Structure 1
Amino acid sequence: MSGLCGYLAATDSGGVQHTLAGMASPLARFDDSPIRMVAAPRGGVAVAAAADSVSLHGAGGVLVAVWGRPLLNGCGENIAERFAALWLINGAKACAALSGPFAVCAMADAGGQLLLAIDRSGVHAMHYQQVSQGVLFASSAAALQAHPHAVSTLDPQSLYNYLYFHTVPAPRTVYRGQRRLQPGEYVQYRHGHLETGDYWKIEYQEQSAIPFGELKRQFLATLESSVRRSADGARTGAFLSGGTDSSTLAGMLAKVSGRAPPTYSIGFDVAGYDEMRYARIAARHFGTDHHELYVTAGDVAAAIPRIATASDQPFGNSSAVPAYYCANLARTDGVTRLLGGDGGDELFGGNERYADQAVLSRYEQLPSALRQVALEPLLFGLAGKLDLALLRKARSYVTQAVVPMPARLETYNLLHRYGPAAVLHADFLAGVDERAPGDQMSKCYWQNKGLSQINRMQTLDLRYTLADNDLRKVRLACELGGVDVAFPFLDDEMLAFSARLSPRDKLNGTQLRYFFKRALRGYLPTAILRKKKHGFGLPFGHWLQRDAGLQSLVLDSLSDLKKRHIIREDFIEHLMHGLLAEHPGYHGTMVWVLMMLEQWLAKSGVPAGK
């Protein structure tokens, strides 16, 4: 639960003045035993309070700290000391020898060198900022902000990106000039020069022709070993939503632990949101020690300020609330680590949009002459005024299909649908680049040009859906709840296995998780294999319409947000008194995003009206 922060200062004398301090991550105030590390004479390291998740080495003008639960060339012993030796020989390439969740910092007097890196999935974080005095770095924004030289000016573009993505994607942070490492990335500082690079990128083997039986054997063996590694050294339980991923992990945890593992589910008293039935099916099937909690609107109102205070930057995923109550429930049972199923959808083709985009992409395969000379003029010209159900569907299909990828994925993006000019104050909008989020996504999507659409979408989701959103959500919730978290589907061996699957193994026509479901047939209950994905969604918009306490919290937050000249006052009024009643689930998401922005700004000490 703790983190690292430090400062490397370049000096004219040729030496390096450095301080490496372990501070609790954004949740220091909730951590009873944070790490405290300080530089000791002649390169040694003094440790005031030790923890088993930090490996330290300091000798011969070299100081290394490795955070998390990594292995180095398959071994978990003396990580920092062995990495120091490897780094001095291979430079940043040494990061490829690390596996598992980690953040690493390595510093050397010679040349004033600094290396920072994080794991392949972005489970851990690393923030950095180059200043005139040198480089500041930290595993959390809160730790970085504690340094007197840190910049505390908010970045308008990052606030815009938050409203677009509901999070601030790396490499930006909410503070101007501060950056955050992306998965598989490193940053080096040598002789006053800062550079970033990739020590790892996923490499797909689309032409792989491994027989199903062998693939299934490899998958089950990899799954078992990843769950075993994830559960090692802790009293481990599992989130259990009743979906394929969480159910699979619960069953495998029962196998590797040899006991009935504790599992935790959250329910809601709103039709269409409660998935407890499936969680109970999985719990009975695998014989877990199952625990349930029904979250109420009052629970949500109580959690909102706490989540905003603990967040590094604005974060608009409302599923953090049920995940937090799950983690809190687990902690009261004495559980110290939870297994999360995050990553399964992305690695094995489980997101509904994969099938939707496959259907839309078929239009591109038609001859351009047929599309542009016959179909489109007919649908939008001669037949454009006919209000027939079949023609309406055809026009809607073509309207979406002609939008190029990956912009087509954002068809239902809230900021896009409302229109930035309708949502944002004119002065704020004038200072941002509206195209930046789309350009950032396009760059990521097309870096794997030539690959199948499903694998390009997977690459996009590994960054934006997982590293920047879902992993942040679950880690934040678990830190607040007082437990550790591990993600077996994001084990490095599992990432490599996913890359060996053919595109058809992930998406066969419109059949999601084609290989995954075949491989687990007979292992998972049939009802779970057939159910549609749901997860820990939050019926916030529905509760908001009927719970006075939640309404008061939201209205107070949005009233203060109006004074900041970021969001148009008339849009907030229209959202709250018009749109929300029309579609509580859809428009309630934007209410949550705006409320959490104001909550974060207020908790971070940014005065209203600034």
Structure 2
Amino acid sequence: MSGLCGWMGHGAGVGDNQALLATMAAPLGRFDATPVRHVAGRRSAAALAAQPASSHVYQQDGLTVALWGQVQLAGTRSAGDELAAELAAGWRQDPDAVCARLGGAFSLCILDEARGEALLAVDRTGTRPLVYQLAGETLVFASSSDALVRHPATPGQIDPQGLYNYVYFHMVPGPGTVYKGQQRLLPGEYLRYRQGAIEKRPYWQIRFDERQGQSFEALKEQFLQHLKDSVRQASEGQKVGAFLSGGTDSSTIAGILTQVGGKPADTYSIGFEAEGYDEMEYARLASRHFGTNHHEYYVTPDDVVAAIPKMGAVFDQPFGNASAVPAFYCAQMAKRDGVTCMFGGDGGDELFGGNERYAKQTVFALYDRLPGLLRKALLEPAVFNFPGGGMIKPIRKARSYIEQASVPMPARLETYNLLGRYGAAQVFDADFLASADLDGPLASLRDAYGKQPSASLINQMLALDLKVTLADNDLPKVIKACELAGVDVAFPFLSDAMVEFSTHLTAKQKLNGTKLRWFFKEALRGFLPDEIITKQKHGFGLPFGVWLEKHQPLQELAYDSLSSLRGRGIVRAEFIDDLLGKHLKEHPGYHGTMVWVLMMLEQWFRQRPAAAPHA
């Protein structure tokens, strides 16, 4: 993936620091073989693994600046190391103003030995992560936990809460990690270190202006121009390709890339020989429509078996989103064609209102608008006390609706949470469960959701998803899959200009009644084929549960992984027996998800033999 690592407030001398820095930086370029630059001082050091266009370094008079990514710096046309030098000058003049000038996809460290201060920051959507830990007066940081735990001041100790959160969400949501004492910077956040103490603050937060302003035509023109500019900027100096699932987002990026580049874009799609999972016909439709140079690959169960240990190795946190596997094979296909950067369509749903749950939660919210007396004194008694109501379909549906609508947001989003359906006490070992906060996952959702109290329901959900769905889940999935394949990745929908543009659309332009991403689709009508605009959402879902029924090598790997997990003191042996012996046979697609989540937890541990489950 490339990235940063380093520290402030530790060291015996430049020579020793260089050696330790090389040890920390080793995981950053292990999959994509990026060149690494080292800069060490007496009490601080930083390493940057990145291709030349994304590597910006400055060191002079005890001040080090390392900047990774595709960066825009307000008020300058500087590039390369000149960008880092300008940031150094800005730091000397006004440290508090540094982040306000930064845009693009980046992570940053500034280490000032003379002042005994440091600054860490990541971009607005969290595409370039940073984890950190304060050990005594030493601040250690890295783009990957695998690098951070190599510093002697911050050896990794597994946090039971991180493991619990993983099984709940199928990833470890920020700012937490799977290690005790280790944290992640949130999107748009910076950290200041002063003489052994740290403070964190947002330098940017999304803000919505929901007032109706410009005409549809004016907004459509701006939207398309932002898309073209974003694709053009991300394409500079690289051989690019695009993921193409056949959905609206990936098809739009493929079409704009062809338009901007003036030649057929290289597009890449994954298919599955499994009923209900293959969407290749829509990818082919988009390719024909835009005239792209299209490439396809059908992932097999054998491919999944081969990829599983690699997935355990490349993710620095336990990660259970199975669609990382097809994303990897898609990126690998592009790598063989000489592509250096893949374009992902991620962000369109979370900026413009494209997930089904947005419409669903709007319907539930209607119940809150009814007078309380009507709900409590009339409707609810009538529905729940109706004789034989459990046998009558309309009454059952009414009961289900009221039960879900009565759960406050954002907890209502987790009504069908898989761990909740099993029950935490049934899944986890009792001693392990006693060391975790069972309310922790929902508390983290409430905290993130509460940061937009004045926004409409749709925008509150969008802001939550920018953090939980994108920064914690979908972006790491694609970024790590591409890292494993040895290519970079960019997300044109997540340019600063596009994010800002989306905040000025009204709630109705995003969700018109129950019509998802209304403005987005209308603005692209005539550009995208109608069949793609009206198709049901799908993506690169993996038919793991279906294949697990019939493919012996996949069964053996899954059963062996869960057998090993038994001995780690995390999951109850009885639950694993029930999952494999009973539940999986009843519904492979549904229960296969938990098999995958637990299998990938064990695979993550296997790739890190020194990591103890908990201590």
Say yes or no: TM over 0.5.
Answer: yes
Q: CA deviation at 1:28?
A: 3.0
Write out the 4+ residue segments of structure 1 that deviate beyond 6 Å after TM superposition: 10-13, 17-20, 40-50, 607-610
What is the aligned partner in structure 1 of residue 157 from structure 2?
A: 153
From the superposition, tell whether residues 265 and 7 of structure 1 become closer, same or farther in structure 2 (CA, over 3 Å).
same
Q: CA deviation at 1:446?
A: 1.4
- 1:456-605 alignment runs, 5 A limit: 456-605=460-609
- 1:288-299 alignment runs, 5 A limit: 288-299=292-303
From the superposition, tell whether residues 47 and 190 of structure 1 become closer, same or farther in structure 2 (CA, over 3 Å).
closer
Could you tell me which of 141, 151, 157 is aligned with 1:137? 141
2:347 is the counterpart of 1:346: no
What is the aligned partner in structure 2 of residue 359 from structure 1?
A: 363
Q: CA deviation at 1:29?
A: 2.7
Counterpart residue type for residue 55 of structure 1? H
What is the aligned partner in structure 1 of residue 30 from structure 2?
A: 29
> Contact 2:156/2:611 (CA < 8 Å) preserved in 1?
no
Q: CA deviation at 1:164?
A: 0.7
For 1:539 and 1:320, the matched residues in 2 are separated by 12
What is the aligned partner in structure 1 of residue 8 from structure 2?
A: 8
Q: CA deviation at 1:87?
A: 2.1
Q: CA deviation at 1:2?
A: 2.0
From the superposition, tell whether residues 438 and 229 of structure 1 become closer, same or farther in structure 2 (CA, over 3 Å).
same
Counterpart residue type for residue 286 of structure 1? F
What is the aligned partner in structure 1 of residue 433 from structure 2?
A: 429
Q: CA deviation at 1:106?
A: 0.4
- 1:362-407 deviation digits (Å, cap 9, x = unpaired): 1111111111101111111134645111111111111111010000
From the superposition, tell whether residues 261 and 25 of structure 1 become closer, same or farther in structure 2 (CA, over 3 Å).
farther
For 1:305 and 1:510, the matched residues in 2 are separated by 41
Counterpart residue type for residue 71 of structure 2? P
> Contact 1:25/1:139 (CA < 8 Å) preserved in 2?
no
- 1:153-552 alignment runs, 5 A limit: 153-383=157-387, 385-552=389-556
From the superposition, tell whether residues 564 and 504 of structure 1 become closer, same or farther in structure 2 (CA, over 3 Å).
same
What is the aligned partner in structure 1 of residue 73 from structure 2?
A: 72
From the superposition, tell whether residues 131 and 157 of structure 1 become closer, same or farther in structure 2 (CA, over 3 Å).
same
Counterpart residue type for residue 196 of structure 2? G
Q: CA deviation at 1:48?
A: 11
For 1:326 and 1:356, the matched residues in 2 are separated by 32
- 1:18-66 deviation digits (Å, cap 9, x = unpaired): 7694765745332334313132699999999973311011123211010
- 1:403-452 deviation digits (Å, cap 9, x = unpaired): 10000000111111111011111110011100011011001111211210
2:59 is the counterpart of 1:58: yes
For 1:144 and 1:609, the matched residues in 2 are separated by 18
> Contact 1:539/1:585 (CA < 8 Å) preserved in 2?
yes
Counterpart residue type for residue 7 of structure 2? Y
For 1:508 and 1:455, the matched residues in 2 are separated by 13
For 1:472 and 1:549, the matched residues in 2 are separated by 27
Matched residue SS, 1:553: helix
From the superposition, tell whether residues 555 and 365 of structure 1 become closer, same or farther in structure 2 (CA, over 3 Å).
same
Q: CA deviation at 1:88?
A: 2.4
Q: CA deviation at 1:138?
A: 1.1
> Contact 2:302/2:553 (CA < 8 Å) preserved in 1?
yes
For 2:37 and 2:105, the matched residues in 1 are separated by 21
From the superposition, tell whether residues 387 and 213 of structure 1 become closer, same or farther in structure 2 (CA, over 3 Å).
same
Aligned length: 608
Counterpart residue type for residue 333 of structure 1? D
Counterpart residue type for residue 81 of structure 1? A
Matched residue SS, 2:391: coil
For 1:163 and 1:512, the matched residues in 2 are separated by 30
Counterpart residue type for residue 561 of structure 2? S
Counterpart residue type for residue 397 of structure 2? K
From the superposition, tell whether residues 192 and 395 of structure 1 become closer, same or farther in structure 2 (CA, over 3 Å).
same
From the superposition, tell whether residues 47 and 252 of structure 1 become closer, same or farther in structure 2 (CA, over 3 Å).
closer
Counterpart residue type for residue 461 of structure 1? D
- 1:132-181 deviation digits (Å, cap 9, x = unpaired): 24111111111111212213110000000101111111111111001111
Counterpart residue type for residue 59 of structure 1? Q
> Contact 1:2/1:24 (CA < 8 Å) preserved in 2?
no
Q: 397-406 or 81-90, which moves further after superposition?
A: 81-90
> Contact 1:162/1:168 (CA < 8 Å) preserved in 2?
yes
For 2:263 and 2:503, the matched residues in 1 are separated by 32
From the superposition, tell whether residues 335 and 409 of structure 1 become closer, same or farther in structure 2 (CA, over 3 Å).
same
For 1:164 and 1:230, the matched residues in 2 are separated by 35
User: Structure 1: any 5+ residue segments left out of the alignment?
Assistant: none
> Contact 1:339/1:485 (CA < 8 Å) preserved in 2?
yes
Q: CA deviation at 1:121?
A: 0.4
> Contact 1:57/1:65 (CA < 8 Å) preserved in 2?
yes
Q: CA deviation at 1:609?
A: 8.1
Tell me the C-alpha RMSD between the 2 structures: 2.3
Q: CA deviation at 1:184?
A: 0.3
The normalised TM-score by structure 2 is 0.95
Matched residue SS, 1:187: strand
Matched residue SS, 2:98: helix
Counterpart residue type for residue 283 of structure 2? A
For 2:557 and 2:139, the matched residues in 1 are separated by 40
- 1:485-513 deviation digits (Å, cap 9, x = unpaired): 00000000010011111100110010001
From the superposition, tell whether residues 276 and 284 of structure 1 become closer, same or farther in structure 2 (CA, over 3 Å).
same
Q: 147-156 or 35-44, which moves further after superposition?
A: 35-44
> Contact 2:175/2:185 (CA < 8 Å) preserved in 1?
yes
Q: State percent identity of aligned pairs.
A: 54
Matched residue SS, 1:100: strand
For 1:608 and 1:109, the matched residues in 2 are separated by 35
From the superposition, tell whether residues 399 and 189 of structure 1 become closer, same or farther in structure 2 (CA, over 3 Å).
same
From the superposition, tell whether residues 487 and 552 of structure 1 become closer, same or farther in structure 2 (CA, over 3 Å).
same
- 1:532-590 deviation digits (Å, cap 9, x = unpaired): 11000000000000000000000000000011121111111111122222222221111
> Contact 2:5/2:47 (CA < 8 Å) preserved in 1?
no
> Contact 2:246/2:286 (CA < 8 Å) preserved in 1?
yes
For 2:599 and 2:405, the matched residues in 1 are separated by 34
For 1:493 and 1:32, the matched residues in 2 are separated by 32
The normalised TM-score by structure 1 is 0.96
Counterpart residue type for residue 121 of structure 2? A
Q: 406-415 or 36-45, which moves further after superposition?
A: 36-45
- 1:188-220 deviation digits (Å, cap 9, x = unpaired): 101221111100001110113221111101101
For 1:532 and 1:259, the matched residues in 2 are separated by 29
> Contact 1:92/1:186 (CA < 8 Å) preserved in 2?
no
Counterpart residue type for residue 7 of structure 1? W
